[in-house]
């Protein structure tokens, strides 16, 4: 077999493997989605609880679009299924790329992937149990009495999902710092020296990602500052010894 034919054969094998992994990933996601569909209304009720608990008695959500009451729970169910199936999806990705990695890369990739999923889950849980109740309490407490809050079901869901992704993604900061260190682009010492700039950037990012209230901005910025410190220590633990020896 010529080198050209060998290359084509290898490419076909990779494409077949990729297709198989994608099919398995989608099947797993589909199974989770089908299992959650009967609980769509319950899931939406749970997600709506942080706001409903702050509304005056007798007030609830509305659906401006006639189909909103139907599609909002379905949309939420899909994202919950994606959330639940994420470890399976990442495993399929890992199974596809793992054969091409070196032994050291495999040893590092597993804890990095695991940590990224765990931190994303922690960020979403932090947003649901602490941030959303505090934000809605702040917004409903300081509103004028002449203004009644009647949130739209779809608009509320978009708001909550944006908060979840903002906090889940922001909690990935230590993982991003470790990856940058392992790539040799930044050293732990540089992270340490740039702490002041990082804090300013974190507060700016928190102001952009969160609603225009001080409560949510602080509740994102403060954990991110702590996570930045965690990222510095994690980078020191994982940085190659050759890089550590060249640091000032």
Residues across the chain: 248
190: pLDDT strictly greater than 50: yes
Give residues with Cβ within 8 angstroms of 196, minimum separation 6: none
- Residue 64 has phi, psi (to 5 degrees) of -65, -45
* pLDDT value of residue 156: 92
Residue 213 and residue 135: Cα distance in Å, rounded? 8
Q: Which residues pair with 62 in a beta bridge?
A: 152
For residue range 34-75, list pLDDT tens digits in order.
Answer: 999 999 999 999 999 998 888 777 677 887 877 778 899 999
Domain ranges of the chain: 4-243
In 3D space, the residue among 43, 215, 209, 224 whose CA is nearest the CA of residue 136 turns out to be 215
90, 29 Cβ separation under 8 angstroms = no
In which band, very low, low, confident or very high, does the pLDDT at 209 lie, cut at 50, 70 and 90?
confident
Q: Which residues pair with 152 in a beta bridge?
A: 62
In which band, very low, low, confident or very high, does the pLDDT at 98 lie, cut at 50, 70 and 90?
confident
Structure-block tokens of residue 59? 């007030």
In 3D space, the residue among 207, 204, 47, 42 whose CA is nearest the CA of residue 132 turns out to be 47
DSSP assigned state of 221: H
- Rounded to two decimals, the pTM is 0.84
- Residue 145 has phi, psi (to 5 degrees) of -65, -25
Structure-block tokens of residue 20? 């198989």
Q: Please give the residue that has the higher pLDDT: either 46 or 110.
A: 46
- Residue 107 has phi, psi (to 5 degrees) of -65, -35
């Amino acid at each position: 077999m010529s080198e050209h034919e060998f290359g084509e054969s290898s490419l076909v094998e990779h494409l077949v493997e990729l297709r198989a992994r994608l099919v398995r990933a989608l099947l797993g996601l589909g199974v989770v989605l089908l299992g959650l569909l009967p609980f769509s209304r319950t899931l939406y009720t749970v997600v709506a609880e942080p706001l409903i608990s702050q509304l005056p008695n007798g007030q609830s959500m509305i659906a401006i679009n006639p189909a909103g009451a139907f599609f909002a729970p379905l949309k939420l169910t899909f994202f919950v299924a994606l959330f639940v199936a994420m470890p399976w999806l990442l495993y399929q990705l890992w199974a596809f790329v793992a054969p091409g990695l070196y032994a050291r890369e495999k040893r590092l990739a597993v804890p990095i992937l695991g940590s990224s999923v765990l931190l994303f889950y922690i960020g979403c849980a932090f947003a649901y149990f602490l941030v959303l109740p505090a934000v809605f309490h702040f917004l409903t407490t300081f509103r004028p009495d002449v203004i009644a809050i009647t949130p739209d079901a779809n608009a509320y869901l978009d708001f909550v999902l944006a908060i979840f992704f903002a906090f889940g993604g922001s909690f990935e900061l230590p993982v991003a710092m470790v990856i940058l260190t392992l790539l040799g682009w930044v050293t732990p010492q540089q992270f340490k020296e740039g702490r002041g700039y990082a804090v300013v950037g974190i507060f700016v990012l928190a102001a952009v990602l969160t609603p225009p209230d001080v409560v949510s901005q602080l509740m994102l910025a403060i954990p991110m500052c702590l996570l930045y410190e965690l990222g510095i220590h994690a980078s020191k633990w994982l940085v190659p010894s050759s890089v550590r020896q060249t640091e000032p």
